[in-house]
Structure formats: C-alpha cells, structure tokens
Amino acid sequence: TVEFGLVMPTILLSMVSLSNWIDSLKGIIDELTLILGGILLILCILTVPFKKEEWTMTLVTDSHLLLYSGLLLTGAFTTLYLPIVLISLSTTVWIIGIMQLRRILRILGLFDLIIAILASLMILGAKMLEPTTLLISLIVLAVELGLVAWLSLSNEDEIVKD
C-alpha cells in the first residue's frame, strides 16, 4: 500500500518534467491533478463497503495532496469550488473515520472542516457572505454535522472502545 501511495504523486511529477518536452501536457496537468484527487477520494469511499481498510490512509493522504494541489494549480481556489471540494473532503474523511473506527481520520475530518471554513471566508471573503451563498453554506454545514452526529451516535459503543 505504501508503494501505491508514492506512485500517484510520482506520476504527476514525471508529467511535469515531461511537459518541458511535450507542450500538449502543459495544459492538462492542472486539471488532471484535481481529477486524480477526486478519483482517489472516490476510491477512499469504496474502502468502506469493500472492507479494504489497509488502503484508507494511503488514499486519504494522496487525495488530500492532489486535491489541495489541484485547487491551487487550476486557480479554482478563488471560486466557489473551494468550499465544495474542501467540504466534500472533510465529510468523506470524517465519515470514513467513524465507519472504520479510526480516530485519526475523525480528527483529520474535523481539521479539514475548520480549514474549509477559514479558507472559504478568507479567500472568497465577501462572496461567501452574500445571503444566498451563506444560506447554502450553512445548510451544507448543518447536513455534514448532522450526518456525523447521527453516525457517531449510532456507532457510539464502538467509538467509546476506540
């Protein structure tokens, strides 16, 4: 599992190196980074139903690395995609932490949520404080926290043992 964790960033780094020779690669590396991060997040979700817990930390680490890099490289961090991607990442990691009884993933999910809120407010500023955007953001936040609270209460006995 460690080898796979090193392969994904290495593929992108080698594509960056090759883009100096092949001009057509320059235009797709940014989007490819974001897309691969999303694919890794989906694979991370699939570790729960397929009972492949040994892959979870590798996929979480790589998806964090590629999604954050992809947001920066594509320039999407200045749009409303920033809170969408970061809240999705937070929700996914937090729920997987509850389902697989992993404390570090629950802490990482909370940390991701705090980063999502702070980054959205700092980078998007006034755009996040518009009434419609603020209402949608608060609804999404309430849904995430409600889902996490419900799952935590339903798995309370196992989480207490953890």
Condensed to tens digits (0 to 9), the pLDDT of residues 70-119 reads 898 888 778 888 889 999 999 999 999 999 999 999 999 999 999 999 99
Q: What is the pLDDT of residue 1?
A: 61
Q: In this predicted model, what pLDDT tens digit does every residue of 16-28 receive, in sequence order?
A: 888 888 888 888 8
Tell me what pLDDT residue 146 has.
Answer: 96
For tokens 């994904």, the residue is: 8
* pLDDT reported for residue 59: 94
Report the distance separating Cα 144 and Cα 15, nearest Å: 36
Q: What gap in Å lies between CA 46 and CA 52, rounded to an integer? A: 8
Return the pLDDT at 27.
80
User: In the chain, where are the structural domains located?
Assistant: 1-74, 77-162
Number of H helices, E strands in the chain: 7, 0
> Within 10 Å of residue 45's Cβ, how many Cβ atoms?
18
Distances (CA, A) of 140 to 83, 93, 136: 10, 16, 6
**Cα gap 110→130, rounded to integer Å:** 25
How many of the other CB atoms lie within 10 Å of CB of 112?
Answer: 21
Residue-averaged pLDDT of the chain: 90
* Tally of CB atoms within 10 A around 130: 12
